[in-house]
Amino acid sequence: MFADIKQTTVQGADIFNLDAIIGDLIAYVDSHFRTEEELMMASKYPDRRHHIYEHKTMKAHVNGYLIRYNSELESKLEIAIDINDFIKSWLINHISIEDIKLSEHLNNNNPGRKNI
């Protein structure tokens, strides 16, 4: 999925699948965040309120892309570039910090679990 978005952004003209990409992103975010949040609750992760707040903020961004797409008020390329920037920010600011902290917590509290 991330490769699709990058290609969409780079090529510019190939944005016919942007609505499908946004739909996939929404589904992925919903599923991935739900799994993490269930693990946080089950393990009583101490920083879960902050982590879940970040998830809610990112979900709002992702849902906003579909609203922007459907409004037809701006170019698909502009939305695709914003999605690309969102994913970069998600990787740098959330996955590499918050998800790593959660993963360490889960590993320390349940050594036999599989990684998320």
**Residues of the shown chain interacting with Fe ion in the complex, contacts defined by CB under 5 A:** 36, 99
24 versus 99: smaller Cβ distance to Fe ion: 99
Least distance CB 2 / Fe ion (angstroms): 16
- Measured distance CA(23)–CA(30) in Å, rounded: 11
Report in angstroms how near the CB of residue 15 gets to Fe ion at its nearest: 28
The structure tokens listed for 26 are: 């929404």
Least distance in angstroms from the C-beta of 40 to Fe ion: 9
- CA–CA separation, 76 and 15 (whole Å): 7
Structure-token pair, residue 17: 């699948």
Q: Indicate the residue among 10 and 27 with the shorter CB distance to Fe ion.
A: 27
Nearer to Fe ion, 11 or 110 (CB): 110
- What is the residue type of 59? K
Q: What share of the chain is helix, strand, coil (3-state, %, to 5)?
A: 80, 0, 20
